[in-house]
Structure 1
Amino acid sequence: MLFSYFRGLNSSTRQKLAFLTITLGVAIIERSLLPIFLLFPFVKQQALNQRLKNQLEQIDVKYRDLVTQSYPQILAQLQQLEAESSHLSRQSNHLTYLLKETEDKNQELAQKVQTQQTRQNLHVSAIHKLQNQVFKHEVKLNLIDKSKPSLLNSGFRERNILVLIDGANFDHSCRQLKLKVDYRKFQQALIKQLVNQQVIKSKSSHLFLNFRYYIGEDQDNQQQQNFLKCLRHLGYTIVSKPMIWQQGKPKANVDVELSLDLVQLGRYYQTIILCSGDGDYLKPVRQMQTLGRQVIVLSLSSMTSQSLKETADFYLDLAQIKEQIFYQNSSHPLVA
């Protein structure tokens, strides 16, 4: 029976039991406890190894249990992350496609805008040509209508006055003076001042006047539209160009239109009054002077080109007529 029990033990235990039996046998034969004392460190080490082994087995069991329990959750999280990554990738591709489509549309729109601007410029040019033709026809009608003085009469030419107002430049000068302009009074005060200073020889009641106002027009600005409507009612001819936004600021340069009218229309007038201090008008002013036309410049002295002052046949400082054209009610529609 003891032999059967011995065979049932594993090899490691059998080795330990055999070693212990031999040690005890030696101790009995030698009648000494020394072999038993020598056996203590070995037994102690074996016990320590056994405890470490048991702990490792427990740790291994816990690790397997942990892996078994956590793996499905980790796998599910990984699958969720892969799904989200796939969704984000699809969204990114879609956004890239939309961005490219938007860029293509912007390019197409820019081309359309450029084409439209070109057409507008052509239309504006055609309108200016038509205006000049209408004016020439009016001149011819004056020659035919005997009730009106003939343009061949030098006396009538002296009473023929063209007033060109650079709206942006003139308005800026008025703002510097903190001046609100009543453009009804302006028509009378300007001519009266020039007659009083004997710059213009004829009486103001005998003069043929053509007031033209040049401005960058904003169709969406109702206040500006009301102002221009009032100017037309007073007899001003409005020459405008659509406002263009550049770097967040509105811009519409009408210098070219004013210069062209100064040269093309100016030949039909004896006196030209330029309401601007911009030195860019120096060349057309000199050109009209070579044709024998009198050119008068009205502007704010501190904002006027010195060369333009010296070139003009007469220079009138805007500050001199400030009181005559001032309007106290700033909400009045004829006030700039």
Structure 2
Amino acid sequence: MSNVHPAQRVAVLVDAQNLYHTAQSVYSRNIDYEELLDAGVAGRELTRAIAYVIRADSPEEESFFEALVNIGFETKIKDIKTHADGSKTADWDVGMILDAVTLAPHLDTVVICTGDGDFSRLCSHLRHEGVRVEAMAFEESTSEELLDAVDGFTDLSERPETFLL
């Protein structure tokens, strides 16, 4: 990637639900978050690493949250919401966007790990503010809108042996 140098201050923001669902549906595997973080930082100065996760009361999730912390992520946890009609929702889009905008003045680069096109406006805003924006996701589930809005894209599908457990 051009315009990448070791003195850049970088934050890595991970939409864990988005990556999890693609890794499971396409590969039936889990994400290697340590490799994801290493590739996102790419030898630069890590300012913040935040993983946005959903608590769904599954037995292994607490150990997953602890593993993220041990790797170097700050975890932001949201409980899944069950609505009157029985449907369930939980997403971190607004939280990720607010964190990215708040952190931007202290960063040179924001790496968002998601394929969600809802983040394309965020990318445009950050770039307008002079922040480099990179995305890491599986290309087959990444919005064209997002691809068009970022300065750099890492397709996790190109190296599944690196990014999947």
Please classify the TM superposition score into its range, dividing by the shorter chain length. 0.7 to 0.9
Conserved 8 A contact 2:32-2:162? no
For residue 48 of structure 2, give the secondary structure of its aligned residue in structure 1.
Answer: strand
For residue 284 of structure 1, give the secondary structure of its aligned residue in structure 2.
Answer: helix
Q: Which has more radius of gyration?
A: 1
Please, which runs of 5 or more residues in structure 2 have no aligned partner? none
After superposition, what is the alpha-carbon deviation per residue over 1:37-70, rounded to whole angstroms, capped at 9, x for unaligned?
A: xxxxxxxxxxxxxxxxxxxxxxxxxxxxxxxxxx
| Cα distance, 1:212 vs structure 2 | 0.7
1:159 to 4, 8, 15: 8
Asked if 1:226 corresponds to 2:63, the answer is yes
| Cα distance, 1:265 vs structure 2 | 1.1
Query: Counterpart of 1:175?
Result: 24
Conserved 8 A contact 1:273-1:295? yes
Asked if 1:237 corresponds to 2:66, the answer is no
Asked if 1:184 corresponds to 2:21, the answer is no
Conserved 8 A contact 2:133-2:151? yes
TM-score with structure 1 setting the length = 0.44
For residue 118 of structure 2, give the secondary structure of its aligned residue in structure 1.
Answer: helix
1:278 to 116, 123, 129: 116
Calculate percent identity across the aligned residue pairs. Answer: 23
Number of residue equivalences: 159
After superposition, what is the alpha-carbon deviation per residue over 1:105-146, rounded to whole angstroms, capped at 9, x for unaligned?
A: xxxxxxxxxxxxxxxxxxxxxxxxxxxxxxxxxxxxxxxxxx
1:305 to 139, 143, 150: 143
Query: Counterpart of 1:290?
Result: 128
After superposition, what is the alpha-carbon deviation per residue over 1:131-163, rounded to whole angstroms, capped at 9, x for unaligned?
A: xxxxxxxxxxxxxxxxxxxxxxxx88x421111
| Cα distance, 1:304 vs structure 2 | 1.4
Q: Counterparts of 1:302 and 1:326 in 2: how far apart (Å)?
A: 15
Conserved 8 A contact 1:170-1:299? yes
Conserved 8 A contact 1:273-1:297? yes
Residues 1-336 of structure 1 correspond to what in structure 2 (within 5 A)?
A: 158-178=7-27, 179-192=29-42, 204=43, 207-218=45-56, 220-246=57-83, 247-327=85-165
Conserved 8 A contact 1:215-1:252? no
Q: Counterparts of 1:186 and 1:315 in 2: how far apart (Å)?
A: 13
Please, which runs of 5 or more residues in structure 1 have no aligned partner? 1-154, 193-203, 328-336
Letter in 1 for 2:100: L
Instruction: Using CA pairs under 8 Å that are at least 6 residues apart, name the structure with larger relative contact order, 1 or 2.
Output: 2
Conserved 8 A contact 2:9-2:109? yes
Conserved 8 A contact 1:162-1:209? yes
For residue 265 of structure 1, give the secondary structure of its aligned residue in structure 2.
Answer: helix
TM-score with structure 2 setting the length = 0.85
Q: Counterparts of 2:163 and 2:154 in 1: how far apart (Å)?
A: 14
After superposition, what is the alpha-carbon deviation per residue over 1:260-297, rounded to whole angstroms, capped at 9, x for unaligned?
A: 11111122110111111111111111111011110011
Letter in 1 for 2:72: G
The structure with more strand, counted as a fraction of residues? 2
Letter in 1 for 2:64: F
Q: Counterparts of 1:176 and 1:275 in 2: how far apart (Å)?
A: 17
Letter in 1 for 2:58: N
